Structure 1
Amino acid sequence: MSDASFETMNGHKLLPHYQTTAYYDILAWLDTIPLSRSVRNLDADFGDGILVAEIIAYFFPEYVDLDMFIIARNMSQRTKNWRILNSDVLPKLSLHAPGTVVHDITNGDNRAVELFLLHLREKIEEHLIRTGRKSRLQWETWRSFNVERYRLPQLLMTPRTPRRMGHLPN
């Protein structure tokens, strides 16, 4: 299966292995956040920007006025929601979604939402640490828990043999 073509099984996309790791990591993260609707398909569910606003509001309620967002039934409403995110909300996290990214997300293009959510999660974590709401240790603990719980691949490391002072290994 090539990177460009995706087969489906029971309505779910089959992604190459390196992509499934990030995909399931994002789903696990989203599972910890109370959202107004369940996430079944990243590409479709995040197209209108409302769930992105809810994620940010969960961590930083003072940054988002959820009443500004409308349930999008067409492309212009989706684009309007993303315009609000880009102008009023994302800059508070030092984040901007370029027009091409917004276009890909609103059109449900493959992996655009997944990549954006990975970046959003990183910015949220950085901002939580910068504002003193979360320590780096808590993030590492969450990541360790997440890796163990969902059995994400880890780097294989060879054990190091202790070196004696002044001696290099042979």
Structure 2
Amino acid sequence: MDLPQLSEDELSEIYNWVDIVPLSRAKKHIGRDFADGVLIAEIIQHYVPTIIDIHNYSMAHSVQQKQYNWNTLNTKVFRKMGFQITQKDIDAVIQVIPQAIERILKMIQFKLDLFLDQQEQNQDQKQEKPIELKKNQNQVNNQKPIVNNKQNDKDQVIQDQKETIDILELKIQKLEQLVKLKDSKMQQLTQKLQQAGIK
């Protein structure tokens, strides 16, 4: 299925979203900049570093290397996130067809949000499991002294707290992105009003 064309507002939102992510190269022409898939890999690494090895992707000028990068993204990363990009869309990006990369970025943004939400739900479910059950399992399986069991409980509490902090940090990042997007839209609207002679 071909990805749909984007409206001006959607394009603006995508450009703002990309600007939030620290990339290794300055963006001059988004179509050419993203054609080899490397900056896409960097965006994924920014949000979900655990599912991607950035060293698998190298800056490319040849069509063959660009295809390799995109195929690696498709099979090793996008599949884990629950989707894949069609060969037709990949070819369009490599050929720098107008709006091709923007449509893929829009899809990746949507799928990233779903994937991150799913990860948060999984973390929440893990935290809901009673610690008492884990303690009982340790006692039955290992028959370790009570002191060791207490240490295991402390370690588990610390781990749970770390996971909670990670989830909260992800939520803060999302909120910061939303604030930046809203600020950018406000600035654009203010500029349009000023250009129209409305203060």
For 2:185, which of 150, 155, 160 is the aligned residue? 150
- 1:44-123 to structure 2, matched below 5 A, reads 44-123=32-111
Distance in 2 (alpha carbons) for counterparts of 1:37 and 1:90: 22
Query: What is the rounded CA distance, in whole Å, between the counterparts of 2:12 and 2:27 in structure 1?
Result: 12
Is 1:47–1:105's contact at 8 Å kept on the other side of the alignment?
yes
Deviation at 1:19, TM superposition (A): 3.3
Contact 2:38 2:59 in 1 (8 A): yes
Task: Report the Cα distance in structure 2 between the residues aligned to 1:119 and 1:66, rounded to whole angstroms.
Answer: 20
Scaled by the length of structure 1, the TM-score of the pair is 0.71
Provide structure 1 residue ranges, at least 5 long, that are not aligned to the other structure. 1-17, 154-170
In the alignment, the residues of structure 1 paired with residue 83 and residue 30 of structure 2 have an alpha-carbon distance, to the nearest angstrom, of 20
In the alignment, what sits opposite 1:23? Answer: 11
More helix by share: 2
Contact 1:43/1:105 (<8 A) preserved? yes
| Per-residue deviation, residues 32-80 of structure 1 (Å, max 9, x unmatched) | 1111112222211110000000100111111111111121121111001
Q: Cα–Cα, structure 1 residues 149 and 89, in superposed 2: closer, same or farther, change >3 Å?
A: same
Query: Of the two, which has the highest radius of gyration?
Result: 2
Provide structure 2 residue ranges, at least 5 long, that are not aligned to the other structure. Answer: 1-5, 121-166, 190-199
User: TM-score if structure 2 supplies the norm length?
Assistant: 0.61
Identity of aligned residues (%): 24
Q: 1:116 to 1:34 in 2, by over 3 A?
A: same
Which residue number corresponds to residue 9 of structure 1? none
Q: Measure the CA separation in 2 of the matches of 1:23 and 1:99.
A: 22
Q: Which amino acid aligns with 1:147?
A: K
* Greater CA drift, 29-38 or 100-109: 29-38
In structure 2, distance between residues paired with 1:48 and 1:31: 18
1:69–1:140: structure 2 CA closer, same or farther, 3 Å change rule?
A: closer
Q: CA deviation at 1:100?
A: 0.3
